[in-house]
């Protein structure tokens, strides 16, 4: 039972893990966009295991690929040849613009970013890395420094990592003025890193930070500044990749730039710590990018209508199926509605919808379901939110 699991978890897994919901949810099964608890109750999964289950829980084609491969061979490493590794690298490269044609496989987003940072430093010969405030790039000993959320209190060795102002159109000091935010990068390079920099890393929609889409035109200006200072430009596509944004396959394309290094994880494996050709195949075959655009615009449209009805909705933002709903108690002051968010979050679970939450003040609902999420699912989610907000 949930209670027994919780007791064991507390005893053997230590206090660093946290869980959602006052009474934690015990999930026993998943099918596409649905999760089932120990009592067989079905939930609409609007968070996809933190944006990881891209194709859907236990998608039959992905499941089949995993099963067949496991029957044949589980592990041999790259010291021998195996077609799957080079086939997948080729498929991934075919999705990339420009010179982005060489792939290196690791096991997680943190490792990918760690390696990208190492490459940037070795290539440039410089030490200073720049990341955005409100960013999440991993929890390993070196990427934790790139991660710049208010909850992170990791001491970063001086001169090594600089956190610049994130160009947040809703809360940012310069609104949507990309040029003024880009100037902050220039200033950090001039005064913080003596004119030289190893690299710059950013998500195009900050995920854990609360679905904050960077002001349009920002990356173009920053990439120029960083490259002039000898640095390498890294796009973290751990959450924004694989067509989820609907309009583009990769998040960086929404800003019209081509990075030097792209890192990815999560959705690449549909829940396994590896990249799978079957995942790319399903996304293509089932036209998931176009589907995300279609369902996403329906969802965002309906959420915007809901915003007219409920003052608590301060901002609705995002692209495709990477959506954020920021709750405020006062629209003008943008006062974070922390307590209300917590209540609504529990209420939505009661109504059978599992949301994500995040943002600097913990007042943003993150809606990032498996990409098989339908318009009916979106309607159910919005109706449930409407009901919960009306009750509130
Ligand atoms: N980058 C981003 C944008 C992420 O959201 C995450 C995970 N939340 C990571 C990197 C780290 O990935 P992993 O948890 O696989 O190490």
Q: Are 147 and 114 in contact (CB under 8 A)?
A: no
Q: What is the pLDDT of residues 71-112, one digit of tens each?
A: 999 988 889 999 999 999 999 999 999 999 999 999 999 999
Atom 1 of ligand 1 has which residue's CA nearest to it? 137
CATH topology of domain 287-366: 3.90.1150
**pLDDT value, residue 151:** 64
If one counts every other C-beta atom within 10 angstroms of the C-beta of residue 238, the result is 28
Q: How many CB atoms lie within 10 A of CB 177?
A: 16
Q: Which of 245, 266, 269 for mutating ligand 1's site (highest number of atoms within 8 Å of CB)?
A: 266
Distance 46 CA to ligand 1 centre (A): 18
Per CATH, the architecture of 65-285 is what?
Answer: 3-Layer(aba) Sandwich (3.40)
Ligand 1 within 6 A of 108 CB? Answer: yes
Q: Could you report the per-residue pLDDT of 332-350, keeping only the tens digit for each? A: 999 999 999 999 999 999 9
Looking at the predicted structure, is the pLDDT value of residue 124 above 70? yes
Say if residue 137's pLDDT is above 90. yes
Mutate to test the pocket of ligand 1, among 16, 109, 148, 359 (most ligand atoms within 8 A of CB): 109
Q: 109 CA to middle of ligand 1, Å?
A: 5
Cα 372 to averaged position of ligand 1 atoms, centre (Å): 22
- 110 CA → ligand 1 middle, Å: 6
* pLDDT, position 142: 87
**Cα(331) to centroid(ligand 1), Å:** 31
Q: Is 17 exposed, middle or buried (0-12, 13-18, 19+ CB in 10 A)?
A: exposed
- Predicted confidence band of residue 158 (pLDDT cuts 50, 70, 90): low
Q: For a substitution probing ligand 1, which of 110, 134, 135 has the most ligand atoms within 8 Å of its CB?
A: 110
pLDDT surpassing 90 at residue 159: no
- Our answer on whether the CB atom of 239 is closer than 6 Å to any ligand 1 atom is yes
Report the mean per-residue pLDDT for the chain: 95
Percent of the chain with pLDDT over 70: 99
What average pLDDT does range 147-158 have in this prediction? 75
Average pLDDT of span 287-295: 98
Closest C-alpha among 52, 47, 125 to residue 381: 47
- Residue 222 — pLDDT band, cuts 50, 70, 90? very high
Count of beta carbons in the 10 Å neighbourhood of residue 189: 24
- Give 233-266 pLDDT, tens digit per residue: 999 999 999 999 999 999 999 999 999 999 999 9
The residue ranges of every structural domain in the chain are 65-285, 287-366
CB of 238 sitting under 6 A from ligand 1: yes
pLDDT in tens, 184-215: 999 999 988 778 999 999 999 999 999 999 99
pLDDT level of residue 152 (50, 70, 90 thresholds): low
Pairwise CA distance, residues 54 & 48, whole Å: 7
Q: What distance in Å separates the CA atoms of residue 232 and residue 259, rounded to the nearest whole number?
A: 8
Find the 107 Cα to ligand 1 centroid distance in Å.
Answer: 11
What ipTM was assigned to the predicted interfaces of this complex?
A: 0.98
Give the atom of ligand 1 at the shortest distance from the alpha carbon of 237.
Answer: 3
Ligand 1 centre to CA of 237 (Å) is 9
For the chain, the three-class secondary structure string (H helix, E strand, C coil) is CHHHHHHHHHHHCCCCCCCCCCCCCCEEEEEECEEEECCCCEEEECCHHHHCCCCCECCHHHHHHHHHHHHHCCCCCCCCCCHHHHHHHHHHHCCCCCCCCCCCCCCCHHHHHHHHHHHHHHHHCCCCEEEECCCCCCCCCCHHHCCCCCCCCCCCCCCCEEEECCCCCCCCCCCCCHHHHHHHHHHHHHHHCCCCCCEEEECCEECCCCCEECCCCHHHHHHHHHHHCCCEEEEECCCCCCCCCCCCCCHHHHHCCCCCEEECCHHHCCCCCCCCHHHHHHHHHCCHHHHHHHHHHHHHHHHHHHHHHCCCEEEEEEECCEEEEEEEEECCCCEECHHHHHHHHHHHHHCCEECEEECCCCCEEEECCCCCCCHHHHHHHHHHHHHHHHHC
Residue 154 pLDDT? 72
The answer on pLDDT for 14 being more than 90 is no
Whole-number Å distance, alpha carbon 152 to ligand 1 midpoint, is 14
* pLDDT of residue 306 exceeding 80: yes
CA of 329 to the centre of ligand 1 (A): 30
Q: Is the pLDDT reported for residue 156 higher than 80?
A: no
- Confidence band of 48 (pLDDT split at 50, 70, 90): very high
Number of neighbouring beta carbons within 10 Å of residue 153 = 6
- Average of per-residue pLDDT across 316-327: 98
List C-alpha distances in Å: 136 to 208, 257, 323.
6, 21, 17
With a 6 Å cutoff on the Cβ, whether 110 touches ligand 1 is: yes
237: closest CA among 207, 262, 212? Answer: 262
Asked whether the domain spanning 287-366 has the same topology as the one spanning 65-285, the reply is no
Two structure tokens written together for 99: 């010179």
């Amino acid at each position: 039972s949930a209670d027994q699991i919780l007791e064991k978890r507390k005893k053997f897994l230590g206090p660093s893990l946290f869980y959602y919901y006052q009474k934690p949810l015990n999930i026993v099964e998943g099918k596409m966009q649905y999760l089932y608890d120990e009592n067989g109750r079905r939930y609409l999964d609007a968070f996809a295991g933190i944006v990881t289950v891209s194709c859907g829980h236990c998608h039959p084609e992905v499941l089949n690929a995993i099963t067949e491969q496991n029957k044949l061979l589980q592990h041999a490493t790259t010291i021998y040849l195996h077609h799957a590794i080079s086939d997948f690298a080729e498929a991934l490269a075919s999705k990339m613009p420009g010179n982005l044609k060489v792939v290196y496989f690791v096991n997680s987003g943190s490792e990918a970013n760690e390696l990208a940072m190492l490459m940037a430093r070795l290539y440039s010969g410089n030490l200073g890395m720049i990341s955005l405030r409100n960013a999440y790039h991993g929890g390993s000993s070196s990427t934790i420094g790139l991660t710049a959320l208010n909850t992170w209190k990791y001491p970063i060795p001086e001169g090594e990592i600089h956190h610049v102002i994130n160009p947040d159109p809703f809360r940012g000091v310069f609104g949507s003025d990309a040029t003024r935010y880009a100037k902050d990068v220039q200033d950090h390079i001039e005064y913080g890193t003596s004119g030289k920099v190893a690299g710059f890393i950013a998500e195009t929609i900050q995920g854990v930070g609360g679905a904050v889409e960077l002001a349009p035109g920002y990356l173009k200006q920053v990439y120029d500044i960083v490259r002039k200072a000898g640095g390498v430009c890294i796009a973290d596509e751990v959450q924004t990749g694989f067509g989820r944004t609907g309009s583009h396959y990769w998040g960086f394309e929404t800003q019209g730039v081509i990075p030097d290094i792209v890192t990815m994880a999560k959705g690449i494996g549909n829940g396994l710590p590896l990249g799978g050709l079957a995942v790319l195949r399903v996304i293509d075959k089932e036209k998931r990018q176009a589907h995300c655009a279609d369902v996403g615009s329906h969802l965002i449209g309906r959420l915007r209508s809901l915003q007219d009805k409920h003052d608590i909705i301060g901002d609705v933002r995002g692209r495709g199926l990477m959506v954020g709903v920021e709750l405020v108690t006062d629209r003008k002051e943008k006062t974070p509605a922390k307590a209300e968010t917590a209540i609504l979050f529990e209420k939505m679970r009661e109504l059978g919808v599992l949301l994500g939450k995040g943002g600097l003040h913990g007042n943003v609902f993150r809606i990032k379901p498996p990409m098989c999420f339908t318009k009916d699912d979106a309607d159910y989610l919005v109706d449930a939110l409407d009901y919960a907000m009306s009750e509130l």
